[in-house]
Amino acid sequence: MTHFGIRKTEHARRRQQQRGVRDEAMAAALLWGRPISLRGARTAFFLDRRSTESARRRGAELSRFEGTVVVESHDGAVITVIRCRRRFRRQKRER
């Protein structure tokens, strides 16, 4: 089932419910969030302060969703969702 045109894996549905992330927050992150490339052909969309301020200047009030991170697979399905108040950083590869 999709809400807001978002395809979610079962894992993403569980995490969304556990973490209390609304469909509106996920849609906002995918639309307005800063894309960050991850290993394994995945992309995270981080709705940070800069993104929410940019959206506000264009008439969308998204500050309540700030800190939402949506991880999407290469085929466009949402893998997981995170609520993160600190700056989201890519994991560095250990040597």
- Please report the pLDDT score of residue 1 as a whole number: 41
Q: How far is Cα 6 from Cα 26, in angstroms, rounded to an integer?
A: 8
Q: In this structure, what are the phi and psi dihedrals at residue 31, rounded to the nearest 5 degrees? A: -85, -45
- 80 near 68, Cβ under 8 Å? no
The pTM (predicted TM-score) of the whole model is 0.82
Interval 65-88: pLDDT, tens: 999 999 999 999 999 999 986 655
